[in-house]
Structure 1
Amino acid sequence: MASSRPRRTDPDARRPLGVHLREFRNRLILAVIGIAIGAVVGWFLYEPIFEALQRPILQAAEEQDALVTVNFAGLVTALDMQIKVAIFAGVVLAAPWWLYQLWAFVAPGLKKREKWYTVGFLGTSIPLFVGGLALAAWVYPRAVVILTGFTPEGGTNVLDAQMLMTFTMRLFLAFGVAFVFPVLMVFLTWAGIVRTRTWLKGWRWAVLIIFIAAAVLTPTPDVFTMLTMAFPMVGLYFAGIGVGWLRERKRPSLEDL
């Protein structure tokens, strides 16, 4: 005889679209506030950050015995440069906060027993994001040397400050965000949205997409920078598959999608 007991449903699953949009707006506002606070700190860190960005350029000029320098080509360029550096520093310093807002937005869609995943994924995302930034810091001076090395003998390479900052921000943020992607993979697997075998079957397409993404995201045209991003991403992709597989072994009843 069928039980007359009412079926329990997650109240978050019945939330209307308007509630989700308001939640997204609130989380976005909180993330922006955190970045703004980080930018205030970054404003006072402008000089050491700019010196670190300029150091490889001065080193390239010394090694190549050529004029390689940063040029501030406008009246407000120096101020604009400092603002961009501050915002960039704010994004980096506030990474734990805006990553938390991302996972906090996703968490209501999980089952109650799965909401603790947010803590684990946040604890993994932050080191991976920092690891991506560290790899970008290793790539940046080498990319500067490679690219300025194409300057013909006797020529000069006057780098526009605005373009240099745009180049640097894209490089660092591309590496940082790319390294967080495997965490999203594991999240989708553990939540039962995508099976491990689905990731594994599509590994050829995944590798192709990773290399294309690395070519698009990296602001430099050299193969060295692209491969430096692509190879770790491929390794993290298969690592994500491995972590998801370990979870599925403990939960063999995971429904096929």
Structure 2
Amino acid sequence: MDHLRELRSRLTKGVLFIIAGTIVAWIFYEPILEWMSNPYDTIRPKLEAKGIETDLVLTGVGGAFTFQLKISLIVGLLLSSPLWLWQIWAFVLPALHRAEKRWALLLTATGAPLFVGGAYVGFLVLPKAILVLIGFVPDGWGSLLTGAEYLNFVVRMMLVFGVAAEIPLVVTILNRLGIVSARQLADARPWIIIGIFVFAAIATPTTDPLTMLFLAAPMTILYMVAEAIAYVTDRRRKRAAPPEIGDDELSSLDD
């Protein structure tokens, strides 16, 4: 019952933090909306030069309210993520050993910057992706993009790039657990790189190779970094391991 009470307390605090973050995002909705729509505004002159009239619209009586609420909730989750994530950690950490706590904190401190960096790269690629996709509009036609569609597209791009940036962390964990070795990673490197480019081609919503390269190239570099880390880890593990003794050999006896 004590654990259930603590879980209830942690969940309540986490929800309150998310609500507070959502309220803050609601207050600063205008600058957030301006920042989010900046990639779209950047490519509008280029589309108009091609004769494509395009605009962002909100449909329905409650469309504007729903759109503002969604943006505020998403930004609120991000703003309050250090606080509600800490509530989760505070509930789990007492059950971990000292070494497990150290590794958990290290993985968290590494994974968060990688995800944020990948999401930022995805945001930088947004103008190019929007330009390519809307560029398929036929001559004489216009393009109306609803706020919900645009928000889903932005979130999807940032999530794909953010998750892809976690490759070195996942590979390092697998190596630390002894599931894969540096030799196996090196042998599988050609197939892994092909898989990365296939994933990038499927995950990115555009059809141009440039956007695919923006995702595949960092993923390949990060995989190389993870392979180098695995190589160093395997060398340390081999150096620390006791010497192997054959079945027909005698082990040395202590005096």
Structure 2 gap segments, 5+ residues each = 243-255
Q: Distance in 2 between matches of 1:135 and 1:152?
A: 30
Give secondary structure in 2 for the equivalent of 1:251.
helix
Q: Which amino acid aligns with 1:191?
A: L
Offset at 1:246? 1.4
TM-score, length-scaled by structure 2: 0.74
Post-superposition CA distance 1:219-244 (Å, at most 9, x none): 33433322211111111111111112
Give secondary structure in 2 for the equivalent of 1:189.
helix
Offset at 1:114? 4.9
Equivalent residue in structure 2 for 1:68, among 38, 54, 57: 54
Post-superposition CA distance 1:92-132 (Å, at most 9, x none): 33455677688889989987435412222222212211211
Equivalent residue in structure 1 for 2:185, among 199, 221, 241: 199
Which of the pair has more CA radius of gyration?
Answer: 2
Q: Distance in 2 between matches of 1:97 and 1:188?
A: 28
Q: Distance in 2 between matches of 1:229 and 1:30?
A: 38
Change (3 A) 1:139 1:119: same
RMSD of equivalent CA atoms: 3.4
Offset at 1:90? 3.3
Equivalent residue in structure 2 for 1:142, among 101, 116, 128: 128
Q: How does 1:92-131 map to 2 (within 5 A)?
A: 92-96=78-82, 112-131=98-117
Contact 1:210-1:234 at 8 Å conserved across structures: yes
Q: Which amino acid aligns with 2:26?
A: W
Partner of 2:248: none
Offset at 1:30? 8.3
Q: How does 1:131-210 map to 2 (within 5 A)?
A: 131-210=117-196
Partner of 2:250: none
Partner of 2:64: 78
Change (3 A) 1:110 1:76: same
Q: Percent identity?
A: 33
Q: Distance in 2 between matches of 1:105 and 1:231?
A: 38
TM-score, length-scaled by structure 1: 0.74
